Amino acid sequence: MGDFREETRAWLEQNCPPGARGPGYVPIGSKSIELEPDTRVWLDRMIEKGWTVPTWPKEYGGADLDREQYSILIDEMKRIDARPPLTGRCVNYIGPTILEFGTDEQKARWLPICARGEGAWAMGYSEPGAGSDLASLSTKAVRDGDNYVINGRKTWTSDATYCDYIFVLVRTSPDKPKHEGISLVLVDMHQPGVSVHPIRLISGASPFCETVFEDAVTSVSNVIGGVDRGWTVGKRLLQFERSTHAGINISGSQGGRSEAYSLPDKVRHYVGEKDGRIADRELRDRLVQNDMNTRIQKITQRRAIAESQGRAPGFASSVVKLTNALNIQEGDELLMEAMGSQGCRHRAQDAVR
């Protein structure tokens, strides 16, 4: 394994351009996004190595890395602060779902597109009348020859304004019990039957959208995992989503993502120092606790990756996702307190970068 680490280190040193190192993200691939030159070079080189989806089979654009090699790759990327070349719903959610449930034709058709980052994907699960009770969804897909015709509306579809494709939970058998009449279909968003309407939040931003389907069309060959099997397939996709947020999804690359300033640095910036320490004792104690929790979280993430037998862990993904979210929330609240009145103007995550 020593050779793999050395070769990886040397290759990354040589091939990761300066503009692809340091804090920040490479935007999820979309035909409509123009990339910075260094980011383009980095993405192309990683695609060639199969390292945008390092654990996927080579025939679908991956590099067939085993778990140990994958964790070495991530370590080495972090060492030089390389940004992950691709993350998002393509490589982290729908890609692994197709890998697990798709037919050979579906894998050959869709996975290389994901691996090359050629399309941005939206997620069409929630509806105005189906949130927590997702199985009540009413968006309908009716068979018409070799196609399905889709009608209905999906809400909270993140980033849909600049997405190319959407994976959608639709009702294919309205007469069956509600969990048994649902299918997961892939839909091209560039068609007249699909329209996207941004939802303006109280902050003024509109990262979420309503996506409306009016006689939108998709081929029957785009049903993943079989007709009326969408509840099982859709739940598996949610496991991949959760494990991505928990930092333990090994589909797609998760290297890099460093922050320019740590949470203690940010708090120090706003609260100031006394005798070389953060001035506010109570905040300092809470920061130490948060830092300990963050370190425990990272060790637990690594353990969960090492222990997982499948491509995405089962219950561990939910546990680690929840503790991760609570820890980040606590950190953001701490920072808001440190910022005082300035915290009203900025979101905590926008503070000193």
Residue 241: active-site member: yes
Name which of 32 and 289 has its Cβ closer to ligand FAD: 32
Name which of 46 and 246 has its Cβ closer to ligand FAD: 246
Whole-number Å distance between alpha carbons of 261 and 244: 23
Give CA separation, 80 vs 37, 77, 164, in Å.
Answer: 19, 6, 32
Q: Which stretches does DSSP call E strand in 220-340?
A: 223-224, 273-274, 277-278
Name which of 130 and 304 has its Cβ closer to ligand FAD: 130
Kindly name the residue from 76, 127, 210, 241 that is annotated as catalytic.
241
Q: Which amino acid is at 194?
A: V
The distance of closest approach from Cβ of residue 235 to ligand FAD in the complex, given in angstroms and rounded to an integer, is 13
Contact 317, 276 (CB under 8 A): no
| Residues engaged in binding ligand FAD (CB under 6 A) | 123-126, 131-132, 154, 156-158
Instruction: Name the token pair of 231.
Output: 């509840």
Name which of 121 and 270 has its Cβ closer to ligand FAD: 121
The distance of closest approach from Cβ of residue 147 to ligand FAD in the complex, given in angstroms and rounded to an integer, is 23
201, burial (CB in 10 Å: exposed 0-12, middle 13-18, buried 19+)? exposed
The distance of closest approach from Cβ of residue 124 to ligand FAD in the complex, given in angstroms and rounded to an integer, is 6
The distance of closest approach from Cβ of residue 251 to ligand FAD in the complex, given in angstroms and rounded to an integer, is 18
Q: Contacts for 173-177 with beta carbons within 8 Å, 24 or more apart?
A: 173/227, 173/228, 174/140, 176/228
Instruction: Name the token pair of 173.
Output: 């058998």
Whole-number Å distance between alpha carbons of 76 and 86: 16
Name which of 39 and 243 has its Cβ closer to ligand FAD: 243
The distance of closest approach from Cβ of residue 126 to ligand FAD in the complex, given in angstroms and rounded to an integer, is 4
Q: Which stretches does DSSP call E strand in the chain?
A: 121-124, 140-144, 147-154, 165-171, 182-188, 194-199, 208-219, 223-224, 273-274, 277-278
Q: Which residues are identified as catalytic?
A: 241
